[in-house]
Amino acid sequence: MNANRPILITGGAGYVGSHVALHLAERGERVVVLDDLSTGHARSVIGAELVIGDVGDRDTVARVLREHDIDTVVHLAGRTIAPESVRDPLRYYAGNTCATHNLLACCAQAGVSRFVFSSSAAVYGMPASGVASEDTPTAPINPYGASKLMSEWMLRDLSAASGLRYAVLRYFNVAGSDTRGRTGHRTRNATLLIKAACEVATGQRDWIAVYGTDFATPDGTGVRDYIHVDDLARAHADALDYLRGGGESIVLNCGYGRGASVREVLRAVERAHGAPIPVVEHPRRIGDAPSLIADAARIRQVLGWSPRCDDIDLIVASALAWERSLAAERG
Is the CB of residue 238 less than 8 Å from the CB of residue 305? yes
Do 284 and 214 meet the contact criterion of CB atoms below 8 Å apart?
yes
CB of 123 closer than 8 Å to CB of 140: yes
What DSSP letter does each residue of 216-284 carry, written as one string? Answer: SSTTSS-EE-EEEHHHHHHHHHHHHHHHHTTPPPEEEEES-S--EEHHHHHHHHHHHHTS---EEEEPP
Query: Quick one: which of 57, 43, 49, 60 has its CA closest to 9?
Result: 49
Rounded to 5 degrees, what angle do the CA atoms 307, 312, 315 make? Answer: 70
**CA separation for the pair 210, 190 (Å, rounded):** 15
- Residues taking part in catalysis: 144
Question: Using CA atoms, how far apart are residues 148 and 139, in angstroms rounded to an integer?
Answer: 12
Are the C-beta atoms of residues 167 and 116 closer than 8 Å to each other?
A: yes
In degrees, rounded to 5, the angle at the alpha carbon of residue 83 between the alpha carbons of residues 176 and 186 is 35
Q: Give dist(CA 201, CA 211) in Å, integer.
A: 19
